[in-house]
């Protein structure tokens, strides 16, 4: 049974469809629905910074996120945790690069090194690819969506950038601060 929809979901579903299909000719209902839901999820900045370090503080640094997702050399306690963290990294990279491109490489963005656009693309593609490899049992149905997100990351990113230009102010956005 599907949970109650987010109040912004109809708006984001239409905006994503207009951007991806209308402007780029990309027709992938699974990816479009996923991206619209991602926009709903990250409309709450607490979700954007949901990864936590061992002390419970939000992880804002892309390199630290990737290390935390590593079940062998990092802190992910299991491969299921790795999948969840890698999914978040892919989502974070797509969202930040598409909706806040001026934050990439900006010293104002984070207290730590702010990733460049190229670093966000690499992390997003890699993370979504890893998530797509979890393709058995409960993950079997959604694995192909993550494979398509990885393979076409730059196209999906461009669609978000076009969406942002359509709905956003003409002045640069700044990433929201994390809220505990």
Give residue 36's pLDDT.
97
**Tokens 């900045």 sit on residue:** 45
- How many residues are there in the chain? 180
Give residue 129's pLDDT.
98
Q: Two tokens at 149?
A: 């997100």
The verdict on pTM exceeding 0.85 is yes
| Rama region for 43: left / alpha / beta (φ>0; ψ in -120 to 50; rest) | alpha
Give residue 162's pLDDT.
95
pLDDT in tens, the chain (180 residues): 355 689 999 999 999 999 999 999 999 999 999 999 999 999 998 899 899 888 888 998 999 999 999 988 888 889 999 999 999 999 999 999 999 888 787 665 444 568 999 999 999 999 999 999 999 999 999 999 999 999 999 999 999 999 999 887 666 666 777 666
Distance (Å, whole) CA 114 – CA 105 = 5
């Amino acid at each position: 049974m599907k949970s109650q929809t987010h109040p912004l979901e109809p708006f984001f579903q239409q905006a994503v469809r207009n951007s991806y299909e209308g402007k780029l000719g990309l027709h992938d209902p699974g990816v479009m629905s996923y991206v619209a839901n991602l926009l709903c999820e990250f409309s709450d900045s607490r979700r954007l910074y949901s990864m936590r370090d061992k002390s419970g503080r939000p992880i804002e640094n892309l390199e630290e996120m990737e290390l935390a997702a590593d079940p062998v050399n990092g802190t992910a306690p299991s491969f299921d945790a790795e999948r969840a963290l890698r999914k978040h990294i892919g989502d974070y990279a797509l969202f930040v690069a598409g909706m806040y491109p001026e934050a990439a490489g900006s010293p104002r963005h984070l207290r730590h090194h702010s990733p460049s656009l190229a670093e966000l693309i690499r992390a997003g593609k890699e993370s979504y690819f890893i998530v797509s490899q979890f393709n058995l049992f409960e993950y079997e149905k959604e694995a192909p969506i993550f494979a398509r997100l990885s393979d076409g990351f730059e196209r999906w990113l461009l669609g978000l950038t076009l969406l942002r230009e359509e709905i956003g102010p003409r002045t640069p956005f700044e990433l929201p601060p994390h809220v505990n």
